[in-house]
Amino acid sequence: MKPNINKIIDTISGADELKSSVRSFCAENTKIKIQPPSLQAFFVAACFNHLRRPIGIVADVSSKHLKSLKEDLSSFLGDGVGFLPDYKNEGVAVSGFVSKSKQTFDRTYNQLRKKQ
């Protein structure tokens, strides 16, 4: 069961300031200048709940950080999360086989096309 972001925000001391920060963060293309992946995922999920429409993020992070970010985003947002990894810069261990990143990219791309 995914957590309710709005309930979490409401239980935080200074919730009004946090809501204001989320609104300003969501209002423009901005960089998240916080490091913990779970906190990044929280802000993205809060923005998604605030805007009530699909959003996209670009994450230029290490693979370990990205793994945590993906897990946390999936926890907050459920099955509606898709990933488009940069599979073109990834080496393939066995010629003729498709990398996991390419499979993930294709699955997300196809989901997006179906929703048009």
Question: What is the predicted pLDDT for the residue at 71?
Answer: 92
- Whether this model's pTM surpasses 0.75: no
Question: What is the predicted pLDDT for the residue at 8?
Answer: 78
What are the domain boundaries of the chain?
1-78, 82-116
pLDDT tens by residue, 31-46: 777 788 888 898 888 8
Question: What is the predicted pLDDT for the residue at 92?
Answer: 67
Helices (H), 52-90: 63-77
- pLDDT below 70 — which residues of the chain? 1, 29, 92-93, 116
CB atoms within 10 A of CB 63: 8
